[in-house]
Structure 1
Amino acid sequence: MPDISVGAQTFDLIFHPTESIVYAGLLTGEVKAFGYDEQGQHDQRFTLKPSKRSCRGLAIDEQGDHIWSVGKGKSLCTIDTRTAQITNTRPAVHDAPINRVRYVSQHLLATGDDDGTVKLWDSRTPAEIRAYNHHFDFISDFLWLSDKRHLVVTSGDGTLSVLDIRSSKTTPLAQSEDQEDELLSAVAIKGGQKVVVGTQMGILSIFNRKSGWGDCVDRVPGHPHSIDTLSALPSSYPSSHSTILTGSSDGLIRVVQLLPTKLLGIVTDHGDYPVERIVIDRAGEGHWVGSVGHEDVLKLTDLKDIFEDEDEDDAEGEVSENADSENERPDVIVPEMVKEEKKKAEGWDTDEPESEGEPKSKKRKKKQTKVPLAKKREKKGKNQIVTDPSFFSGL
């Protein structure tokens, strides 16, 4: 699908849970809606401006009837998607700019700001239900664990916390030790039993819920830059329980299998722009991957182009896993639209990570050394990143 031009830098995007509509939150404070179809055509549905300041986060309810937007203006705004109207604005609900918003369950929202404050809201009442102040740096992401009704919070202060929304206490149920790195994103794998956290230094930290939240049980290196966003694969894919999409500040969206750890391929490339957000349509069960970086476009990539091409190649004959030359590498791990950009991924696990003080908006540096993306390493240590093209053969 051609890139959707949104007219300004995009910070967040969400999909309608049942319809082919995507919403983008922009630097200008606008929220724009676009319709799309299976042929890759798109059209703009509406444009609203809930705030004069930037829109940093969006959330949508289970029916897709309401959107909540937050941002630098510190307000919480409600948009009715059916009428394309702003129906409610709660001004100055935080003392600092709001960085994230998450729809948790019916009528319940969570917001997190740059100072580390988390607030819970009932969409039907004007005041917050509870406020949590145990974090002291920006709230980077929320992860909802519905089986225990726990809200996992990641923060730039280097800790992860777990909130029990059923409790009236304003202290967390659990909080991890300092991980000595900014925690930027989170996603659940293994049926929700493990939580993967992306960090500023490009390491995936894995927490095991059965072992408690005190510290991660494993660390997976490999990304040359920060991991700003994570997404699970749709459950229809056989390896969805252990395979995730990672969005890095080097502009690449990767398919990574965990436990055992393997780099499986590249979904798309945002060039010199860091990837801010990855979302899959149809409430995470569709086949369109939406991604935004610091450019003024929204990319929609079809997962079918990645997974189904492997079946066609398997019918003609399998490519040797021990291929040594560039020509023998299986191109199916890279979509057609990014084949010319494959070499940008060849620095996997070769670059030094970005320093913590470097702004995320800076363009990524050119890599100094290159390692073929699909070439197996001779020695495989613990959590070593290797490529396994056979991952796609059963899909």
Structure 2
Amino acid sequence: MPDIPFGSQIFDLAFHPTASVVYTGQLTGHIAAFSYNDETGAHTERFTHRPSKRSCRGLQLNEDGSRLWTVGKAKCLHALDTSTGELVETRESAHEVPINRITRCMQHLLATGDDDGVIKLWDPRKEGAVRTYTQHFDFISDFAWLEDKKQLVATSGDGTLSVMDVRAKKTEPSAQSEDQEDELLSILPIKGGSKVVVGTQLGILSVFNRKKGWGDCVDRVPGHPHSIDALCALPSSYPSSSSTILTGSSDGLLRAVELFPTRLIGVIADHGEFPIERIAIDRAGEGHWVGSVGHDEVLRMTDLREVFEDEDGNEKENTEEREASSSDGEGDEAEPRGAQASLKRAKEDSDEVSQKGAAETDAHSDVEDSDEGVKEKRKKRRKKDKLSGREAKRGKNEVEADKSFFSGL
């Protein structure tokens, strides 16, 4: 597991769609690019650029990977040439407050969301924003793009998600959920886009069924002991990719979790006690390297082939059995099933799923740019539950590995 060390916290990462290059945005405002060996993960620095002294919170590449868009606390929208690392465009005061997220919807359409819940659509060929949405009143935490309907889905710290049809000229969303009574932190389409899973502050995965509307979730999957700050899909080459997701939690564990039926496949990477901010897979999500970043100032690269494939390149899981059980257990209001796989670096926790007493956290508050570094997220009370990867009282380096880890995969 090759690691790329940094001298400051990393807020976001982005992989080049066709080349073995990864880009990171840091607390210090630096944008760093590294090339890596596709087989070993060995890395070499390509360039470092600092378009702003304020923190960089979000990165997004254009379709061919020639231009890297960055956003952050400076409220600006910057563009870098990925071949030279030089700044080629700056849009000053793109938002009135710090920008938290950016995503690419179509070839000539970007979306940005700020700390006040304002969402803007941008055409890079035009000077100003083409549309502005103001339905949210708290930070925009994540975006999901639904290609079939040309819809942009945004999650917010105000406890709701909203759906915007980018083809419509109106500035109101086409749908908005009810208050979920929890901060919504991450979002990911699953089941071929027919459903959407949302990660929350209290460690619950909320599942929305598009056919049943966006008013409320149809399933709630508890089990993560802390907030679910990042979600990522497996490459489509894996038979289980439609229902297996990667989750990054503030407890520092990167997990592989299968839904319908719900079970923990295993822990993919461990950032210690440091929260995970973002996760991504190379080659536009179709590669085999998954990168994860957090408060430990390290880009952790994990080879998915070592986790999911055997020596012949086949997925370790008996997919026919899994798909059969999935079809039997899946339902819009089905009860989630417990984790069955052994955990890496930890033994299986209690079967009870605790949803009580999650302490308040504020992972998306402004981070002061100072020599003292970043303030950690507010500490949350540790609990035992099915998706926990460590014992509550066990030290960071005192783990008990189960010999049968991944033996059934």
Common fold: TM-score over 0.5: yes
Supply the AA of the counterpart residue of 2:377.
K
Give the partner amino acid of 2:261.
Answer: P
Looking at structure 2, the residues matched to 163 and 363 of structure 1 have their Cα atoms a distance apart, in angstroms, of: 33
Partner of 1:28: 28
| Offset, 1:307 | 1.3
Q: Counterparts of 1:89 and 1:148 in 2: how far apart (Å)?
A: 31
TM-aligned CA deviation for residue 278 of structure 1: 0.7
Q: Would you say 1:188 and 2:189 are equivalent positions?
A: yes
The superposition leaves residues 130-187 of structure 1 with CA deviations (integer Å, 9 ceiling, x where unpaired) of 0000000000000001111000000000000001000010000100000000000000
Which residue in 1 is equivalent to 2:275?
274
Question: Is residue 178 of structure 1 aligned with residue 179 of structure 2?
Answer: yes
Distance of 2:23 and 2:258 partners within structure 1: 29
Cross-structure match for 2:244: 243
**C-alpha deviations, 1:301-337, integer Å up to 9, x for none?**
000111125979999xxxxxxxxxxxxxxxx966xxx
Query: Shift of residue 390 of structure 1?
Result: 8.0
Q: Deviations over 1:258-304 (max 9, x none)?
A: 11111111100111101100100000011100000111110000001
Amino acid at match of 2:360: E
Distance change in 2, residues 1:164/1:46 (3 Å)? same
Within 2, Cα distance between the matches of 1:191 and 1:118? 26
Q: Does the 8 A contact of 2:15 with 2:284 survive in 1?
A: yes
1:305 paired with 2:302, answer: no
C-alpha deviations, 1:338-358, integer Å up to 9, x for none?
x5x335x74784575532355
1:124 equivalent to 2:121? Answer: no
CA separation of 1:333 and 1:65: change in aligned 2, threshold 3 A: farther
Distance 1:372 1:18, change over 3 A: closer
Closer, same or farther in 2 for the Cα pair 1:278/1:347, shift >3 Å?
A: farther
Task: Tell me what 1:163 maps to.
Answer: 164
Q: Distance in 1 between matches of 2:152 and 2:199?
A: 17
**In 2, Cα distance between the equivalents of 1:31 and 1:312?**
35
Name 2:230's counterpart in structure 1. Answer: 229
Q: Is the 8 A contact 1:9 1:26 kept in 2?
A: yes
Partners of 1:294 and 1:301 in 2: how far apart? 17
Q: CA deviation at 1:228?
A: 0.3
Give the counterpart letter for 1:362 in structure 2. Answer: K
Q: Distance in 1 between matches of 2:59 and 2:279?
A: 13
Indicate yes or no: 2:30 matched with 1:15: no
Q: Percent identity over the alignment?
A: 60
Q: State the Cα RMSD in Å.
A: 2.7
Residues 121 and 137 of structure 1: is their aligned pair in 2 closer, same or farther, counting only changes over 3 Å? same
Q: How far 1:19 sits from its partner (Å)?
A: 0.4
User: 1:3 — aligned with what?
Assistant: 3
Give the equivalent residue in structure 2 for 1:199.
200
- Structure 1 residues 203 and 353, CA, compared in 2 at 3 Å: closer, same or farther? farther
* Matching residue's letter, 1:52: K
Aligned to 1:329: none
Structure 1 residue 31, shift from structure 2 partner: 0.4
Unpaired segments ≥5 residues, structure 1: 316-331, 375-386
Equivalent residues of 2:143, 2:153 under 8 A apart: yes
- Note the 1:40-79 alignment, pairs <5 A: 40-79=41-80
Contact 1:306–1:333 (8 Å) recurs in 2: no
Alpha-carbon displacement from aligned partner over 1:11-32 (angstroms, at most 9, x marks no partner): 0000000000000000000100
Matches within 5 A, 1:339-350: 339=344, 341-343=345-347, 346=349, 349-350=353-354
Distance 1:274 1:372, change over 3 A: closer
- Alignment deviations for residues 241-273 of structure 1 (CA, whole Å, 9 cap, x no partner): 111001100001111111111111110011110
Within 5 Å, give how 1:307-326 maps onto structure 2: 307-309=308-310
Of 343, 359, 371, 1:355 maps to 359
Amino acid at match of 1:121: W
TM-score between both structures, scaled by the size of structure 1: 0.85
Whole-angstrom CA distance in 2 between matches of 1:94 and 1:204: 30
Does the C-alpha gap of structure 1 residues 351 and 273 become closer, same or farther in structure 2, counting only changes over 3 Å? farther
What's the CA shift for 1:365?
5.7
Aligned to 2:86: 85
TM-score (norm 2): 0.82
Could you say if the C-alpha distance between residues 132 and 388 of structure 1 is closer, same or farther in structure 2, counting changes exceeding 3 Å?
A: farther
Structure 1 contact 187–196 (Cα < 8 Å) conserved: yes
- Cα distance in 2 between the residues matched to 1:172 and 1:237: 34
- Report what 1:381 is aligned to: none
Residue matched to 2:108: 107
Counterparts in 2 of 1:314 and 1:288: CA distance versus 1, 3 Å: closer
How far the C-alpha of 1:39 sits from its partner, in A, is 1.5
**What is the distance in 1 between the residues matched to 2:76 and 2:119?**
14
**How many positions carry a matched residue from both structures?**
359
Change (3 A) 1:368 1:154: closer
Give the Cα–Cα distance (whole angstroms) in 2 for the partners of residues 299 and 313 of structure 1.
24
Question: Cα 1:33–1:347, aligned 2, differ >3 Å: closer, same or farther?
Answer: farther
Q: 1:228 corresponds to which letter in structure 2?
A: D
Alignment of structure 1 residues 252-263 onto 2, 5 Å? 252-263=253-264
Gap change, CA 1:84 and 1:221, over 3 Å in 2: same
Give the Cα separation in 1 of the matches to 2:232 and 2:226.
17
Per the alignment, do residues 364 and 289 of structure 1 end up closer, same or farther by CA in structure 2, a change over 3 Å counting?
Answer: farther
Counterpart for residue 150 of structure 2: 149
In 2: Cα distance, 1:272 partner to 1:290 partner:
18
Superposed CA deviations along residues 186-228 of structure 1, whole A, max 9, x for unmatched, are 0011100000000000000000000010111110000010000
The structure carrying a bigger helix percent of its residues is 1
Q: Relative to structure 1, is the Cα distance of residues 200 and 165 closer, same or farther in structure 2, using a 3 angstrom cutoff?
A: same
